[in-house]
Amino acid sequence: MFLSLLDIENLKVYFATRAGIVRAVDGVDLNVGIGEVLGLAGESGSGKTTLGYALMRVLPRNAKLDGRIIFEGRDLLSFSATEFNRVRGREIAMVFQGSMNSLNPVVRVEDQVAEPLILHGGLSEDEAKKRARELLAEVGVSEDKAKSYPHELSGGLKQRVAIAMAISTRPKLLIADEPTTALDVVTQAQILRLISELRDRFGLSVIMISHDLSLLSEVCDRLAIMYAGKIVEVGSKVEVVNTPEHPYTQALLASIPSVERVGVDSPSIPGEPPDPINPPSGCRFMPRCAYARSECKEFNGYLYELSSTHRAACVLVGGKPIERVPR
């Protein structure tokens, strides 16, 4: 029933810096099904964007990649740079964070959408323009707006243009990195609706990256929670939101301000995320965890199975059940 499009196995992305090795992504296992929207949530610095970059292979020179990225049965990490050029942007596309602000200010948006179709799609100029207008219409940019320059468009429309460019090659996987930050709540909902519609219409698989778990929970089928370079919990939306098992997921969910809680402060997560150069041994959340105990120091980060879809990497979950007493 679950046809996998992408299987990430023990993926590691390390950066060699003067201060030491930054373990931005440190042994991630994750899969994405065909036509599925997977939400990847975590705080700033958790490695979620780096994971997206690794899938697109747009990493700086000091990055070291290890593990396997199986996409439709092919191990993408074994591809040479030239071979990967045929995958990047064509089969896997990404809407980068802030890409709506990276549009060329002196080119009409329809011409910008047409440009890659001429360069990479081999279309003639007229065909490309026609196709660009179709693509823009698909994402809700009307024909008169398509002739605009970026500064004449609102943030929401610019984001639609960025999405049109990403899907212009009909990719199988779309990575959307914080596609709605800096947008208003109304526009945010409209963009999320658009992404779900694209999935429904084209069977597109989507990895949606955000720090906003409530937003992800509205559009994603499954949620993966990332902390300090590792996935700490993954499950269906209902499992993660209603029965979170990892203490970090629980804390993250509790910290979100809600319109239902009038006049109440949401409890914050104490402390700061760990230093990615010297992460604590064992469970990386242990220094901030209310349930920390001595076994946590030895914990290997294994994701224990809670159901066929739900997994969490916490000693309290695996093995024998342990009574939970907050520290």
Partner 1 sequence: MSEYLVSGVKLTKHFESRRSPIEFLTGRRPPPIRAVDGVNIEIQRGEILALVGESGSGKTTLGRLLLLLEKPTSGEVWFDGQRIDNVGSRTLRAYRRRMQMIYQDPYGSLNPKLRVSEIVSEPLRVNGIEVKKDRLAEYLAVSGLRPPEKFLDRYPHELSGGQRQRVAIARAMILEPEFVVADEPVSMLDVSLRSEILGVIKRFNQMLKTSFLLITHDLAVAAQVSSRIMVMYLGRVVEEGDTLGVLRRPKHPYTQTLLSVVPRLGGSLPKTLPKGEIPSAKNIPSGCRFHTRCAYALPVCSTDEPELRLVDGSHVSCHFAEQILSGSTKQSTS
Q: Distance between the two ends of the chain, CA-based, in angstroms?
A: 42
Residue among 73, 264, 319, 325 that touches partner 1 (CB under 8 A): 264
Does residue 65 belong to the site contacting partner 1 (CB under 8 A)? no
- Which residue lies nearer to partner 1 by CB, 186 or 325? 186
Stretch that binds partner 1, among 2-10, 71-79, 186-194, 317-325 (CB under 8 A): 186-194
- Which residue lies nearer to partner 1 by CB, 60 or 263? 263
Does residue 101 belong to the site contacting partner 1 (CB under 8 A)? no
Q: How far is the CB of 237 from partner 1 (least distance, A)?
A: 7
Residue among 272, 275, 298, 305 that touches partner 1 (CB under 8 A): 272
- Measure the CA–CA gap between 197 and 216, rounded to whole angstroms: 15
Interaction pattern, residues 223-262, with partner 1; x per rule: CB under 8 A? --------------xx--xx--------xxx-xxxxxxxx
Residue among 39, 52, 156, 229 that touches partner 1 (CB under 8 A): 156
- Which residue lies nearer to partner 1 by CB, 52 or 273? 273
Q: What is the DSSP letter of 88?
A: B
CB contact burial 185-194 (16+ within 10 A = b; e otherwise): eebbebbbeb
Q: Which residues have a Cβ under 8 Å from the Cβ of 294 and sit 6 or more positions away? A: none
DSSP 199-268: HHHH--EEEEEES-HHHHHHH-SEEEEEETTEEEEEEEHHHHHHS--SHHHHHHHHTS--TTSTT-PPPP
Residue among 66, 125, 184, 275 that touches partner 1 (CB under 8 A): 184
- Measure the CA–CA gap between 51 and 26, rounded to whole angstroms: 10
Stretch that binds partner 1, among 72-80, 89-97, 178-186, 319-327 (CB under 8 A): 178-186
Stretch that binds partner 1, among 7-15, 21-29, 187-195, 296-304 (CB under 8 A): 187-195
- Which residue lies nearer to partner 1 by CB, 218 or 295? 218
Taking alpha carbons only, the member of 213, 310, 289 closest to residue 255 is 213
Interaction pattern, residues 25-44, with partner 1; x per rule: CB under 8 A? ------------------xx
Does residue 212 belong to the site contacting partner 1 (CB under 8 A)? yes
- Do residues 311 and 304 lie in contact, with contact meaning Cβ atoms separated by under 8 Å? yes
- Which contiguous run of DSSP H or E holds residue 304? strand 304-305
- Which residue lies nearer to partner 1 by CB, 71 or 285? 285
Does residue 141 belong to the site contacting partner 1 (CB under 8 A)? no
Fill in the amino acid letter for 53.
Y
Residue among 218, 282, 299, 318 that touches partner 1 (CB under 8 A): 218
| Sheet arrangement for strand 173-177 | 92-95, 173-177, 205-210, 37-41, 222-227, 230-236, 311-312, 304-305
- Measure the CA–CA gap between 158 and 160, rounded to whole angstroms: 5
Tokens of 44: 């700033």
- Which residue lies nearer to partner 1 by CB, 92 or 176? 176
Does residue 97 belong to the site contacting partner 1 (CB under 8 A)? no
Q: Which residues bind partner 1 (CB under 8 A)?
A: 43-44, 154-157, 184-190, 192-193, 196, 211-215, 217-219, 237-238, 241-242, 251-253, 255-269, 272
